[in-house]
Amino acid sequence: MIDAMAFLDITLQILKEFFSLTLEVIPYFLLGAALGAALQTYLKSDSTLKYLSRGSSSVINASILGAVLPGCSCATMPMAEGLKRQGAELGTVTAFIMMSPLLSPITIAMTYGMLGWKITVARLVFPFIGSIALGVILNYLEKSRVSGFSNSASNSKFLQGLPVRGNLASSNTCYTETKQSFWRNLVSIIRGLFKYFLVGILVASVVTTIIPEDSISRYIIFSGFVAYLVAAVVGIPLYVCEGEEVPLTFALLKAGLGVGPAFTFLMGSVGTCVPTMIMAQKIIGKKATLFYILSWFVFAIGSGLLLSLIVG
């Protein structure tokens, strides 16, 4: 009876966390879906492809776009779907996915205020290196026709749904069809990703219930290379809202964790999470998602180690 009551209590906590997290995150998801639909609808496909289909330069452009557009990890995925439908290459889309949740004016200001200028500079510089490297590698794998590494979006298929500029009877007709196209694209993106979003939030709720944020410091207080491994293992699947990673990292530093492992946790926790990983399979495929996760693991640990060497 005691075990049954304990199981019921945990289940209720998970459900409570699920509904709370869904209400907290869904505005960002919908914002990302709206931005993704806008990218698909309003950007001219020929000019977009010019900047998103040039190998390494397309990866750089996508990384800059990801740094400029607002969005947490859950908002990033619908925007990435919009880029994919515009014909962006696999590595280009993945570079955007990696970069977008890492940088925003709010989080940079918070990082500077709570963690200092050294960590702030590292947070500005290291993500560009990581996202560009990852994007270039994935684009190479796609062009080499390696099995499982391809962007399956068909340009002709989705371009047929876009309004044809310059061939419509009037500007009012153009405006009407463009508006209708935006809503069609928005519904399509939400329909395609929403079930993955819900599954990801459910898994994140289980993880958050098992490993509450106020106990994270107890899991990561190790020394040596083990501290970096544990920081990455704890940080990467954990879902934290935009900006929440900064006070968590600050608490780890106050608890005595070194600046290197703390930065590994910062990079891991904000850049990817369970909902991101689940939705990514729909956008870039299973093999590319696995490669993305492994790359992020190496990136988070490498960033922490590099910062530790620089800071001394």
Residue 196 lies in a domain: yes
When pLDDT is cut at 50, 70 and 90, the band that residue 294 belongs to is very high
Nearest one of 64, 100, 67 to 81, comparing CA atoms = 100
pLDDT at 256: 77
pLDDT digits over 93-105, tens only? Answer: 999 888 877 776 6
* 116 backbone φψ class: left, alpha, beta (φ>0; ψ -120 to 50): left
Nearest one of 193, 2, 161 to 81, comparing CA atoms = 193
Q: How many domains does the chain have?
A: 1
pLDDT digits over 120-143, tens only? Answer: 999 999 989 999 999 999 999 988
Q: Which residue has the higher pLDDT, 163 or 290?
A: 290
Residue 22 lies in a domain: no
Residue 11 lies in a domain: no
Residue 132 lies in a domain: yes
DSSP, residue by residue, 157-187: HHHTTS--TT-SS-HHHHHHHHHHHHHHHHH
DSSP, residue by residue, 5-46: HHHHHHHHHHHHHHHHHHHHHHHHHHHHHHHHHHHHHHS-HH
- Helix H, strand E, coil C: the string for 78-109 is HHHHHHHHCCCCHHHHHHHHHHCCCCCHHHHH
- pLDDT (average), residues 15-34: 80
Nearest one of 146, 188, 208 to 33, comparing CA atoms = 188
CB-CB contact of 73 with 271 (8 Å): yes
Residue 162 lies in a domain: yes
CB-CB contact of 59 with 98 (8 Å): no
Distance, CA of 231 to CA of 39 (rounded, Å): 35
Helix (H, G, I), strand (E, B) or coil at 2: helix
Q: In which domain, by residue range, is 147 found?
A: 28-311
210 has a pLDDT exceeding 80: no
Q: Which residue has the higher pLDDT, 89 or 36?
A: 89
On the CB side of 25, CA atoms within 13 Å amount to 27
Give the least confident one: 41-50, 187-196, 267-276.
41-50
Distance, CA of 45 to CA of 185 (rounded, Å): 14
pLDDT digits over 160-196, tens only? Answer: 343 333 343 344 444 455 566 788 878 887 887 787 7
pLDDT at 179: 61
Residue 79 lies in a domain: yes
What are the φ/ψ torsions at residue 303 (nearest 5 degrees)?
-65, -45
Residue 16 lies in a domain: no
pTM assigned to the model: 0.70
pLDDT at 161: 40
Distance, CA of 71 to CA of 31 (rounded, Å): 8
201 has a pLDDT exceeding 80: no
CB-CB contact of 158 with 39 (8 Å): no
Helix (H, G, I), strand (E, B) or coil at 237: coil
pLDDT at 83: 80
62 has a pLDDT exceeding 80: yes
Nearest one of 154, 189, 261, 169 to 30, comparing CA atoms = 189
When pLDDT is cut at 50, 70 and 90, the band that residue 202 belongs to is confident
Residue 9 lies in a domain: no
- pLDDT (average), residues 210-214: 64
CB-CB contact of 21 with 201 (8 Å): yes
When pLDDT is cut at 50, 70 and 90, the band that residue 118 belongs to is very high
CB-CB contact of 96 with 122 (8 Å): no
Distance, CA of 269 to CA of 291 (rounded, Å): 18
